[in-house]
Structure 1
């Protein structure tokens, strides 16, 4: 139980991922599915950034003298998450553009109604 309180960022990320996953699976509305996907993305970013942080170390911005490698955190997880954020925003924009086109064609964004209209 103590590990839950120590790793509360990771626990929060897992809970957020679960909320996003359930939202993605249980809703028929395409906008809600996109929101669920974004919640999952955010949870993954939070998890990796929390894992990349080391207590007592500083950001790798050298001001003055170099303090040694063990005094700075690793910048790679943060830079990878910045890349992931750009990809997530691009994917969201593409999914929303597709949703607009689907709405123009079928007149709805409810997945079950779209599937019924597609069978006709």
Structure 2
């Protein structure tokens, strides 16, 4: 167990962020807390994706940057830049979605005067 915590700490952090984010989305009735929970969940997925794509060594050889020289062998270990590019794109999309969600939450609060999900359901059922 100690070996897991010292060598695979990124996976432990991923699991903790995932559980906390999922709990905030499911258990909270406040809309802002739900958006924060979604952002934590999203951050956990980013961390998992990048940490699984990390290549430090392959068969005792240190992985190199993805700029491949002409004298490279066919199966030399190179780190793939694709996971980082995908995560960077996902971060931009996540920020845009968070901005839209918070703008909708501001609009909901100005219209109904509450951010509680249960109260909103009661108010909407009365309309």
Q: TM-score range by the shorter chain?
A: 0.7 to 0.9
Out of 99, 110, 113, which is 2:116 matched to? 110
Point out the structure with the larger helix share: 1
1:59 is displaced (CA, Å) by 3.2
Counterpart of 2:23 in 1: which secondary structure? helix
Q: How far, CA to CA, are the matches of 1:67 and 1:4 in structure 2?
A: 36
- For 2:102, the equivalent position in structure 1 comes to 96
Call closer, same or farther: CA 1:85–1:66 in 2, change over 3 Å.
farther
Q: How far, CA to CA, are the matches of 2:110 and 2:71 in structure 1?
A: 59
Q: How far, CA to CA, are the matches of 1:11 and 1:43 in structure 2?
A: 10
1:3 is displaced (CA, Å) by 3.9
- For 1:53, the equivalent position in structure 2 comes to 54
Call closer, same or farther: CA 1:65–1:48 in 2, change over 3 Å.
same
Say if 2:48 is the partner of 1:42.
no
Structure 2 stretches lacking a partner, 5+ long: 57-61
User: Which structure has the bigger radius of gyration?
Assistant: 2
Paired residues, number: 119
CA RMSD of aligned residues (A): 1.9
Structure 1 stretches lacking a partner, 5+ long: none
1:17 is displaced (CA, Å) by 0.6
1:36 is displaced (CA, Å) by 0.3
Q: How far, CA to CA, are the matches of 1:18 and 1:72 in structure 2?
A: 33
